[in-house]
């Protein structure tokens, strides 16, 4: 089984539905060697019911040491965080990321025109090509503006809650935005996440193209990109490492050979 670099637990991620003990038990039962725990940290975002996704980072540092010392010997817990990017928070993200000893820092864009895609009422009123071009353009800007991160998460988050079951994110929707995104990732030696929660949502919709668009991944390779990170983005125990085997087979069929995970921001590779 492969390393899973992206997961969420209670109480640090309020939208999670598993505790650290439940995550550890599931990881152990699946034989996963390493799990990245990457709690949500959304600067300057207020959710419905005045909820925020922020937590005490010093307390997290202390708790994580306990989690690591309590974990089974054959399971490594990688200390991580998932920052939600907005243009005006780039500097804050870079500063916070450098002030704590994370193994892995994930950058995400959960927003479209100021609202989280999960809650947004307007996002799917915008025509698909315009919507995807704008979203991938912000992914590019995020990777250009931030330096202290390891992985750019779920480029396909914009489509995850789309009520149109047949819609997917394709390279042809916005080639110049994808190229800009990949240019920043490759220049900065960061990893492109392959997010199996996004794949799972397409499988549940019975979308015949549940795997990432091959044109996206071929273009990434063509531009010199080889670093990819398999991530479940699990919020509950059942989702940990979900669809990893079929996704790894798919990635191998496109010529990718390794899954990259991070320890103290240093990339490590394991065979797919």
Minimum CB separation of residue 16 from Zn ion in Å reads: 9
Give the residue with the Cβ less far from Zn ion, 104 or 216: 104
Total residues at interface with Zn ion (CB under 5 A): 3
The minimum distance between CB 232 and Zn ion, in angstroms, equals 9
- For position 233 contacting Zn ion by CB under 5 A, the verdict is yes
Comparison of 44 and 257: residue with beta carbon closer to Zn ion: 44
Site for Zn ion in 84-113 (CB under 5 A): 108
Burial call 235-252: b when 16+ CB within 10 Å, e when fewer: bbbebbbbbbeebbebbe
| CB of 33 closer than 8 Å to CB of 75 | yes
Q: Which stretch binds Zn ion (CB under 5 A): 74-82, 160-168, 214-222, 258-266?
A: 74-82
Comparing C-alpha atoms, which of 163, 4, 148 is closest to residue 83?
148
Residue 156 or 233: the one with the smaller Cβ distance to Zn ion is: 233
Give the interface segment with Zn ion, choosing from 76-84, 163-171, 222-230, 251-259 (CB under 5 A).
Answer: 76-84
- Residue 248: C-alpha distances to residues 11, 17, 197, 212, 231 (Å): 31, 26, 14, 12, 11
Position 229 contacts Zn ion (CB under 5 A): no
The stretch near Zn ion (CB under 5 A) out of 51-59, 211-219, 233-241, 250-258 is 233-241
Residue 90 or 179 having the CB closest to Zn ion = 90
Q: Segment contacting Zn ion (CB under 5 A): 78-86, 95-103, 158-166, 198-206?
A: 78-86
Minimum CB distance to Zn ion, residue 41 (Å): 11
Q: Which is nearer to Zn ion, 2 or 12 (CB)?
A: 12
8 Å CB contact between 57 and 100: yes
Between 51 and 222, name the residue whose CB sits nearer to Zn ion.
51
Compute the least distance from the CB of residue 214 to Zn ion, in Å. Answer: 23
Shortest Å, Cβ 8 to Zn ion: 6
- Which one, 80 or 225, has the nearer CB to Zn ion? 80
Q: Give me the residues that bind Zn ion (CB under 5 A), please.
A: 82, 108, 233
């Amino acid at each position: 089984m492969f390393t899973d670099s992206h997961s969420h637990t209670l109480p640090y991620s309020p939208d999670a539905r598993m505790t650290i003990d439940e995550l550890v038990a599931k990881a152990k039962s699946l034989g996963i060697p390493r799990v990245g725990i990457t709690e949500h940290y959304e600067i300057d975002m207020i959710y419905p019911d005045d909820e925020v996704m922020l937590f005490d980072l010093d307390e997290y540092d202390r708790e994580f040491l306990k989690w690591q010392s309590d974990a089974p010997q054959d399971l490594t817990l990688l200390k991580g965080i998932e920052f939600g990017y907005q243009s005006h928070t780039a500097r804050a993200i870079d500063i916070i990321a450098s002030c704590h000893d994370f193994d892995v820092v994930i950058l995400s864009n959960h927003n479209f025109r100021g609202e989280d895609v999960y809650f947004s009422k307007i996002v799917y009123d915008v025509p698909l090509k315009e919507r995807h071009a704008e979203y991938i353009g912000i992914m590019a800007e995020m990777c250009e503006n931030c330096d202290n991160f390891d992985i750019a998460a779920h480029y396909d988050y914009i489509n995850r809650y789309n009520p149109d079951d047949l819609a997917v994110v394709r390279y042809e929707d916005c080639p110049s935005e994808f190229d800009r995104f990949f240019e920043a990732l490759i220049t900065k030696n960061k990893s492109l996440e392959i997010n199996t929660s996004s794949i799972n949502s397409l499988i549940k919709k019975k979308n015949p193209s549940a795997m990432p668009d091959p044109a996206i991944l071929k273009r990434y390779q063509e531009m010199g990109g080889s670093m990819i990170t398999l991530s479940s983005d699990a919020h509950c125990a059942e989702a940990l490492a979900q669809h990893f085997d079929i996704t790894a087979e798919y990635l191998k069929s496109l010529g990718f050979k390794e899954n990259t995970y991070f320890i103290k921001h240093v990339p490590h590779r394991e065979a797919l």
